[in-house]
Amino acid sequence: MSKIAVLTTGGTIASIKNENSGLYMSGAMSGEQLVNRDRVRSTMEIEVESVFQVPSNAMDFDKLLRLRDRILHHINDPDVDGVVVTHGTDTLEESSYFMDLILETKKTVVFTGAQRTPCGEGTDAYANIRDAIAVAASPECKGIGVLVAFNEGVYSARHVHKMHANNVQAFTSPGFGQLGYVDNGECFMTQNPLQHVCYELKEPLGRVDIIKVYLGCDGKIIDTCADFGVSGIVLEGLGRGHVPPGCMNAVQRAVDKGVHVVITTNCGQGRVYPVYDFAGGVRDLQSRGVILGHDYMSLKARIKLMVLLASGHESSMALQKAFLA
């Protein structure tokens, strides 16, 4: 019989209703309360650990590094076949991708959560936990990176994105699709990622901010971030990765100060690419030392840039090469 470790961190999936306010207290349930074996209906041997009890908007990198240590503790147990992490959905795509970049293991690590509280009508909490356990135990899921199991779909942490604020079909992978699905507690994989890279953190994680550009914006926010001393800035650009001309002087000032600037696109699909010869275009950004964020969404580009810098990738050439991987 497979043994799966379930680590809980809070979120909607672990919420309890506050009868005084009528609102929900996110993360109030402990792991032992949440992983009710009668409700989950799993045939696996399950070991539960309550790591945090927080809403996902309170997750941070200090907590994630502590979570990584607990995941490694269970992964290193020869009796454990895989690990499930329950997590709030608001930051699940960021946390799961961070783990994907820093966890090198053949055992499967799966994140899941819920859009409806365990006591809510039509809750998806227990079905998602049951399905995540099935994914963690599946031999087909080993060695392909951190996965997300949600509403019967299986997704790569690299490409998963929360696309709906409240619907139970909350996650998708724009342009890439799901890797497989779970049906009646059985996991079926239909495709595997060709690439998966991990990095060793050698330095503390630096600060990287995201700046969304928009029609007519100038460079004031870019200047503010650069003056604050950030390690990097991810620009969420327009279309193929363009920014208004009024931003370009600020971009140059940031690069000259040693800030690593990455350009991404605000479109749900596609990659940044030099097509046009105008001020604020991708070619102009490249000429000023900006790194092309390939097909990364800004949230994932930020996580990747933080990890790359902490793992010793300092030159623009090394960073650019890594973003193409």
- Residue that is written with structure tokens 């193929």 in the block: 240
CA distances from 323 to 25, 92, 109, 210 (A): 38, 21, 23, 16
Q: What is the CA radius of gyration of the chain?
A: 21
Per the CB < 8 A criterion, the answer to whether 117 and 185 are in contact is no
Q: State pLDDT tens for residues 47-104.
A: 999 999 999 999 999 999 999 999 999 999 999 999 999 999 999 999 999 999 999 9
Mean pLDDT of the chain: 95
Catalytic position from the list 12, 86, 108, 123: 12
Instruction: Report the pLDDT value the prediction gives residue 195, as an integer from 0 to 100.
Output: 85
Comparing C-alpha atoms, which of 129, 101, 135, 110 is closest to residue 33? 129
Is 38's pLDDT higher than 70? no
d(CA 264, CA 280): 13
Q: What pLDDT, on a 0 to 100 scale, did the predictor assign at position 1?
A: 66
Q: 212 - beta bridge partners?
A: 236
Task: Output the DSSP codes for 179-213.
Answer: SEEEETTEEEE----S--------S----EEEEE-
Q: What predicted TM-score, i.e. pTM, was given to this entire model? A: 0.96
- pLDDT score recorded for residue 2: 83
Between CA 302 and CA 77 the distance in angstroms is 32
Encode pLDDT of 10-28 as tens digits: 999 999 999 999 899 998 9
3-class secondary structure, 91: coil
Residue 92 near residue 10 (C-beta atoms within 8 A):
no
pLDDT surpasses 90 at 106: yes
Q: Catalytic: 12?
A: yes
Domains and CATH numbers, the chain: 3-189 (3.40.50.1170), 208-323 (3.40.50.40)
